[in-house]
Structure 1
């Protein structure tokens, strides 16, 4: 045979008849008339120069050659489908936008190196980052307004897939010249007389601390309340007091002036995770960034504080 002279529709017709052992049922599956289906099979057999089916008034069955050909056609169609999906994925990676929601500390520690690598590979894809409170991050994921997120909230939500990536402890943030700055650890009781700066009671961080300290005899006195950890750290840096914050909340650029001493009795921890809406299939570009973040965090855990 000098050249292949049949099309995809003829191969699909062949597989349909082989699966159904019936021209009538195969024609219905393909939304064709029986004569049109028969013409496709006849054309394929003429091109190949062989009979693929034995046809009687009662049944249709594959010839020996037809059975061997069917296995090869199935493989070819599967590979063709995979190739088409691969092209679609590639096209989706060339342009578009990925939307990521995360708590602010994740921006400092997890995103820069991964985003740089991602942009080098896919320079025309835009990445939109919502650095918000834990509840806002969760709401963005649930509403489908972000492809995925990094958050410490959502593990108990039945609509969220939560993949733990890092367990961090709470520390007492203070200036380097504070009298307690050289301590290796501090109990909450030892800090009870400090002037505390805290986030508002609507914050997930505040709820976690309040719950953990419910059984502690003497609670720290809170002198200032702000809405975001960034505001807390600005006041700590100005010498206005101390603050209990997650360790990763101390950004690298502030570590020249601030120190974080682990808090114990009781110790408080939170677990950060990669989150996405359960059952939602992410676009290829978003899935790629998700996988790159996951792998990067696994590789770099030892370098995290």
Structure 2
């Protein structure tokens, strides 16, 4: 039996599956919506199956369509890899990259990398999942994310880690706070002031609890929160000071915030790329990973 469909039909299928819309899919692959519909009809007729459930409001994959999707992605990615080996296919490169990233690394690394990827390969789409370190590790281990950007420690056994940089923890405070004029401050000194901390669901809290196992503050925190970005917002509002990873701080100089390195002990964490063991990245994911490494090098030189 001969099945009559071609590469264009598979690209149309992937575009509709990823966008959930015939209109958006047609815009992505730059054809008219009727032409896109004809490609999908041709593919369904060739396979003698229904790949999409269509309503007036949404388009979703059928059970058969969901099973077919990974095979299509694999075929198109293999073709993209072959094209990369024989020439520059950047102008036509498509696909979607899903990256799981802790919020502080997302703030520091991702904007420049995503912007660079879009400029070089405008037809590649990026999904950015920002979550806790445990959620990032789980997304990479399960295959829900192509790769992740997080810090080492408590990773799933299926995940391997490659360091991009080491960063130290600093005290975030307002510029009108007494500690803002210091060049360094000890943990003991810092925690004599009103301070905010992260709750036990945070990966950063785990890093600090391990590093400061022998240190007990003289008084408890006045507030706990889950995310570093919320923590910094509370500092900016004047609620208290907080220990945060240095890359989470806004660029210096900031009109309201200052960062003071912490010592006794100096606490650092390794930030890097997480990959599932044995998984080969798609061409689109490889391009984004390359840009993240370039971002690390550029930042090191700043």
Same fold by TM (over 0.5)?
yes
Taking a change above 3 Å as real, the CA distance of residues 240 and 100 of structure 1, as seen in their structure-2 partners, is: same
Counterpart of 2:271 in structure 1 is 272
Distance 2:218 2:99 in 1: 37
3-state SS in 2 of match to 1:114: helix
TM-score (norm 1): 0.67
- 1:109 positional shift: 2.0
- 1:149 positional shift: 1.2
Taking a change above 3 Å as real, the CA distance of residues 89 and 128 of structure 1, as seen in their structure-2 partners, is: farther
- 1:235 positional shift: 1.1
- 1:156 positional shift: 5.6
3-state SS in 2 of match to 1:98: strand
Q: How many residues align?
A: 222
Distance 2:183 2:200 in 1: 29
1:154-193 correspondence runs (5 A): 157-193=156-192
Deviations 1:178-232 (A, max 9, x none): 0111100001111232111011112111121122222125455211011111111
Counterpart of 2:214 in structure 1 is 215
Distance 1:134 1:272 in 2: 11
Distance 2:232 2:161 in 1: 28
Deviations 1:277-299 (A, max 9, x none): 11001111111211221133124
- 1:272 positional shift: 0.1
- 1:247 positional shift: 0.7
Taking a change above 3 Å as real, the CA distance of residues 184 and 220 of structure 1, as seen in their structure-2 partners, is: farther
3-state SS in 1 of match to 2:179: coil
Taking a change above 3 Å as real, the CA distance of residues 179 and 83 of structure 1, as seen in their structure-2 partners, is: closer
Distance 2:88 2:209 in 1: 47
Counterpart of 1:284 in structure 2 is 283
1:1-305 correspondence runs (5 A): 86=85, 90=89, 94-153=93-152, 157-216=156-215, 218-219=217-218, 221-252=220-251, 255-303=254-302
- 1:90 positional shift: 3.7
Taking a change above 3 Å as real, the CA distance of residues 249 and 219 of structure 1, as seen in their structure-2 partners, is: farther
Kindly indicate whether the alpha-carbon contact (under 8 Å) linking 2:137 and 2:156 is maintained by their aligned counterparts in 1: no
Structure 1 unaligned regions, length at least 5: 1-81
RMSD between superposed Cα atoms in Å? 2.5
Distance 2:243 2:228 in 1: 10
Moved more, 86-95 or 150-159: 86-95
Q: Which has the larger radius of gyration?
A: 1
Distance 1:126 1:246 in 2: 29
Structure 2 unaligned regions, length at least 5: 1-80
- 1:301 positional shift: 1.1
Moved more, 192-201 or 291-300: 291-300
Deviations 1:163-185 (A, max 9, x none): 11111111111100001111000
3-state SS in 2 of match to 1:116: helix
Distance 1:278 1:89 in 2: 28
Taking a change above 3 Å as real, the CA distance of residues 285 and 177 of structure 1, as seen in their structure-2 partners, is: same
Taking a change above 3 Å as real, the CA distance of residues 283 and 83 of structure 1, as seen in their structure-2 partners, is: closer
